[in-house]
Amino acid sequence: MAAERLGALVRRLGPPCDVHHAVWDGGVGNTGEVWVEDEGRTLWLAKVLKSPIVSPPNPKARLARPASPADRSAHQACAAEADRLRRLAQEQAARLSLPMRFLDG
């Protein structure tokens, strides 16, 4: 039940997302972080073994186990928080007349 390659970008699981993750809507993980991978049918917890930040384009991770209902709700809460932070970032960027190209979400 382990896989070394992630076929898609993964969304971070954990405390509320910071603005960096909100702006980039996911992004990439650092080595050692635990993320959630959504493979379409199931959410999986995945530990990043080799970050694509360090060694693109071949990120590696180990799928730990299917995400539990608690993991799933934490993931959904994090996604909702990311949406809220993205909206705040967009509003602030508009107020400051900053470029919006990275805030499209």
Q: For residue 89, is it within any domain?
A: yes
CA separation for the pair 91, 54 (Å, rounded): 33
Q: State which residues form the domain around 71.
A: 11-95
What values do phi and psi take at 98, rounded to 5?
Answer: -90, 155
**Does residue 66 belong to any structural domain of this protein?**
yes
Return phi, psi of residue 72, to 5°. -60, -45
pTM for this entry: 0.37
CA nearest neighbour of 89 among 15, 27, 18: 18
**91 is a domain residue:** yes
Within a domain: residue 81? yes
Quote the DSSP letter at residue 79. Answer: H
Query: Quick check: is 21 in a domain?
Result: yes
**Does 104 map to a domain?**
no
Number of folded domains in the chain? 1
The tens place of each residue's pLDDT in the chain, 105 residues long, gives: 233 333 333 444 433 333 223 222 345 566 666 666 665 666 666 666 666 666 555 556 565 666 677 777 777 777 777 777 777 777 777 777 766 655 444
Strands 11-12 and 43-50: unpaired
Query: For residue 27, is it within any domain?
Result: yes
* Within-domain flag for 28: yes
What residue type is 78 in one-letter code? C
